[in-house]
């Protein structure tokens, strides 16, 4: 092989490496600054988000902290270009207990608020949040059987609404709590599946979430597939894809 051919081959290899490196850098920048994909692994936000939903989380919504960067290196403290989340936002955050596990919940309490659940009804600053019973929601129980459970339209004081379910009625473990006072610079998170959500009500597992731990706001579902779809039978996937949830805005 001539020197000219060898040099051409080496040049082609280096060009390929440069393209790969550039693509990786672009991916890191997009994931750090703009959007991060996230999939829903549990049913804590049913009926709003389902297991098997894949969504984009906007990283710029609340500014940036160390947790905006993959692996959360300790390169800064606090946030830059920070913007507080609004009550009702669905937020991905790092679990305060270990600062590494990704959680996703809805913001219900802002700094200085008092939060309490009484008989299944959420109370904010001593006042019950408006709750309207709507058509029952069909879900599965621990045995995989289809069951109908109470569903409510919940409206926050600011006027935003969403749906919640109460699998155990209003007698679940977290349907009666003490009063929580949200500390400055922290937020109180809850799941919409009120009887099946480990959230800020459980101070030992989650508790209040520091502003710094917020990763971003859930924006849109870009793909959704039923949790029963088998990884090993891809020919069946089209029948399991939830086409009606594609590109659905998250509220």
Q: Which of 94, 105, 200, 224 is catalytic?
A: 105
Pairwise CA distance, residues 62 & 80, whole Å: 9
Catalytic (active site) residue 18: no
Long-range contacts of 179-184, Cβ-Cβ distance < 8 Å, separation of 24 or more: 179/114, 179/115, 179/116, 180/109, 180/114, 180/115, 180/116, 180/208, 181/112, 181/113, 181/114, 181/115, 182/109, 182/110, 182/111, 182/112, 182/113, 182/114, 182/115, 182/208, 183/111, 183/208, 184/111, 184/112
Catalytic (active site) residue 105: yes
**Residues ≥6 apart with Cβ < 8 Å to 35:** 56, 57, 58, 59, 216, 219
Q: Which of 44, 65, 68, 224 is catalytic?
A: 44
Catalytic residues: 44, 105
């Amino acid at each position: 092989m001539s020197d000219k051919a060898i040099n051409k081959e080496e040049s082609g290899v280096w060009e390929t490496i440069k393209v790969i490196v550039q693509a990786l850098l672009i991916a890191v920048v997009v994931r750090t600054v703009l959007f991060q994909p996230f999939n829903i692994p549990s049913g804590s936000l049913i009926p709003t988000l389902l297991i098997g939903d894949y969504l984009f989380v906007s990283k710029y919504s609340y500014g940036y902290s160390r947790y905006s960067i993959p692996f959360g290196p300790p390169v800064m403290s606090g946030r830059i270009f920070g913007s507080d989340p609004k009550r009702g936002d669905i937020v991905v955050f790092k679990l305060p207990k270990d600062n590494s596990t990704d959680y996703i919940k809805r913001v219900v309490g802002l700094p200085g608020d008092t939060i309490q659940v009484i008989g299944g009804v959420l109370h904010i600053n001593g006042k019950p949040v408006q709750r309207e019973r709507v058509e029952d929601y069909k879900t599965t129980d621990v045995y995989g059987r289809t069951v109908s459970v109470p569903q409510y339209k919940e409206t926050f004081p600011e006027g935003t609404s969403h749906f919640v379910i109460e699998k155990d009625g209003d007698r679940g473990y977290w349907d009666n709590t003490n009063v929580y006072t949200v500390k400055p610079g922290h937020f109180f998170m809850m799941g919409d599946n009120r009887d099946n959500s480990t959230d800020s009500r459980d101070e030992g597992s989650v508790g209040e979430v520091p502003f710094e731990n917020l990763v971003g706001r859930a924006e849109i579902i870009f793909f959704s597939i039923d949790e029963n779809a088998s990884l090993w039978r891809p020919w069946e996937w089209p029948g399991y894809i939830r086409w009606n949830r594609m590109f659905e805005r998250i509220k």
